[in-house]
Amino acid sequence: MEVNVEAEKQAIIKDYRQLLRLARPRMKKGDDKRIRHAFELAVDAHKHMRRKSGEPYIHHPIAVAKIVAGDMGLGTTSVICALLHDTVEDTDLTIDDVKKEFGNTAAKIIDGLTKISKISHQTESIQAENYRKILLTLSDDIRVILIKIADRLHNMRTLDGQSRKNQLKIASETIYLYAPLAHRLGLYSIKGELEDLAMKYTESEKYKEIAKALESTKKDRTKYINDFVRPLQEEMDKSGLKANVFGRPKSISSIWNKMRKKEVEFDDVYDKFAIRVILDSAQENEKADCWRAYSIVTDKYSPQPNRMRDWISHPKGNGYESLHTTVMGSGGQWVEVQIRSQRMDEVAEKGLAAHYKYKENKFKAANSAEEAIESWLMQVREFLKNPDVNPIEFINDFKLQLYQKEIYIFTPKGELKILPATATALDFAYTVHTNVGDNCIGAKVNNKLVPISHELKNGDQVEIITSRKQKPSEDWLNIVTTSRAKSKIKNSLREEKRRIADDGKEILERKLSQIKANFSNDNINLLTNLYKMPSSMDLLYGIAKGTINLTELKQLRNVGGALEIIKPEKIGKPKDEEVFYKTEDNNGDIPKNAELVIFDESSKFPYEFAKCCNAIPGDDVIGFISINGVIKIHRTGCPNVINLASKYGYRIIKTRWTAKTTPAFLTTVKLTGLDDIGVISKLTTIISGEMKLNMQSISLETNEGIFEGIIKVFVKDNEQVNKLISKLKSIHGIDSVIREEI
């Protein structure tokens, strides 16, 4: 295809000028020249590179820089690093070149971004370790992870050019790590877009369905919002408050999550939009003005008592500040209203970056909200830098806390601590100090004595009781929920284990001396394999505790101080897992670029349907190669496969349905409605009579005139399921009918 060089050049210049407009509010004298220099270097470095879409590669770093400047509000150094973020990885430009042209800070950030890019996707532990390396950038400069999130956002926006396998792998990683991380860093707008884009590829049919429904109801929704907002805006103006009142649609993914959580249809989700009241207030008047606005809203519309949230008095751990209330609008519709100042709104949109000001090339906390974030980052850094942490355990613990709700706990002197909603007294003890946690024997919560496992509630005042005789035990890991507490307990247990292992070392030295063998690394490694222990320390610990009997030394012979196994075929045989995980390009016996056609008799690959999501013909599906080489068929939106694909992306296999006749599949339909006479007869008439479907079972439970039912029925494909659902919904008194989700 012929390339119009001049047209491409003009498009690049136009893109660059848009970037400058976004960056200008934070530019200082001379910054425009520095950005121009970085742009020219990037253009030259990427001049022979193109994206899979065919466009010049330079559009990608410019787009990332635009997100960094516009969506995140970062400054010139971050813009420069975004422009150059792929150069060291993909071109001849070096870190030393960057340091020479732009200084140590820019070089350090780009070096961090380059390390993240060097990710291979082989085993779960390697992938988890890669995630850990990504998060380790929090220790160096938070801008690394912010630019990486911007990079991921643009990649998600341009994912159409990738293969289906890569789309699912990248989307799964995004849901697994990047969207939760954006949430925790307060990048709510970016988090919502990442989740929507991931859903577009993992649950494409449902995404299109909700998008279409939103578009078709847009006119009515706009009218409702305008009617709701008008009297509020008038009252705000009369009161002297400088307020902008408007409605904003909720994301497609958040609507879908509500539909799944509450098991309702699109029409039954009431909060498809939120009303925002953004106040132009001086910082010293923000709180008072927000509460005045709240008073106006609740005077005009009746509030729901249990749906009020005050994140102004106590901001979230990521610095989010806002008043939320849900009020009754016209037509009996509940409406969420969010009230905050312009500064608070910028924080809500741009997250962590909006909290910080650059001082001497470092991020410095400016107020209590920033201190809460800095406190969290310090905990993350502390946990990440522990060299002994298991990467899989770490990423699972860390991810759990990214979305957790928070509670506010007070020390005896009134100091505020922010903890996850499930935190215990022992978790609180470790937030005070490691020694306080290690020696904790109980607590007083609101002056009442409680055990260390007591789950704390929002607003509790906690005093920790300690004893020097107390020390951590293994079961403490089941009590705590925070990563910090788990890390500290594991460190203490590890130290205790090392102390006991030293006793085991003395025992083993004596035993080896008796058979005239050396206490050497080679002999220790041989014994570790012989006893199938995960490490030499576990071997020595087991010897000291008496769980390892050294009689197996009789299986060995001493050759000049070195031990040898008499029957080598019984020792060191690789496990199936080790054989399977040979290389990224070798998934056992299944070629890397293979395609599975379900129900195609010529297919040579063993497969079975995953029971967690019960895929049926017509569903968008994904094949996943299990440890024994059998391909498991999942629906692409299945949370289990998203979790697996984010860790083992290389084990995804392209999968599609054959066009041939397929057998009947068992699927489950859930329904609710009014308990009316003859409801079962009406159901069976449609299922067995009209649609000629075979039922495995039908069960209904009634409670005070309302029934909930489960029908298990054999169908040919998802089109038949959708037709069945449509027919069942038409029965008078039926409230909702859904195909059971995972």
712: number of Cβ within 10 Å: 14
Beta strands in 230-297 (DSSP E): 243-249, 273-279
Residue 96 has which token pair? 């030393």
- Residue pair 456/445 in contact by the 8 Å Cβ criterion: yes
Residue identified by tokens 């079962």 is 680
301 φψ region: left (φ > 0), alpha (ψ -120 to 50), beta (else): beta
Residue 447 has which token pair? 């002056």
Using CA atoms, how far apart are residues 259 and 245, in angstroms rounded to an integer?
27
Q: Which of 8, 15, 32, 90 is catalytic?
A: 90
Strand, helix or coil at 302? coil
First CA to last CA distance, the chain = 46
Using CA atoms, how far apart are residues 111 and 118, in angstroms rounded to an integer?
11
Residue 346 has which token pair? 């910028």
Contacts of 642 (CB under 8 A, 6+ apart): 171, 172, 175, 176, 202
Contacts of 310 (CB under 8 A, 6+ apart): 323
| Dihedral sign for Cα atoms in the order 577, 579, 585, 588 | negative
- Print burial letters for 60-78: b (CB count within 10 Å at least 16), e (below 16): bbbbbbbbbbbbbbbbbbb
280: number of Cβ within 10 Å: 12
What interhelical angle do 483-514 and 391-402 show, nearest 10? 170
Residue 24 has which token pair? 């200008």
Residue 215 has which token pair? 């578009």
144: number of Cβ within 10 Å: 26
89 flagged as catalytic: yes
Using CA atoms, how far apart are residues 638 and 622, in angstroms rounded to an integer?
10
Strand, helix or coil at 658? coil
- Residue pair 271/250 in contact by the 8 Å Cβ criterion: yes
Residue 131 has which token pair? 């995630």
Our measurement of the distance from residue 498's CA atom to the centroid of its chain's CA atoms, rounded to an integer in Å, reads: 35
16: number of Cβ within 10 Å: 21
Alpha helix stretches (DSSP H) within 583-631: none
Nearest to 42 by CA among 63, 61, 68: 61
Using CA atoms, how far apart are residues 530 and 660, in angstroms rounded to an integer?
53
Q: Which of 15, 89, 265, 503 is catalytic?
A: 89
Using CA atoms, how far apart are residues 226 and 246, in angstroms rounded to an integer?
8
Using CA atoms, how far apart are residues 313 and 311, in angstroms rounded to an integer?
6
362 φψ region: left (φ > 0), alpha (ψ -120 to 50), beta (else): beta
Using CA atoms, how far apart are residues 511 and 354, in angstroms rounded to an integer?
63
201 φψ region: left (φ > 0), alpha (ψ -120 to 50), beta (else): alpha
502 flagged as catalytic: no
Residue 54 has which token pair? 């065919």
| Catalytic residue annotation | 89-90
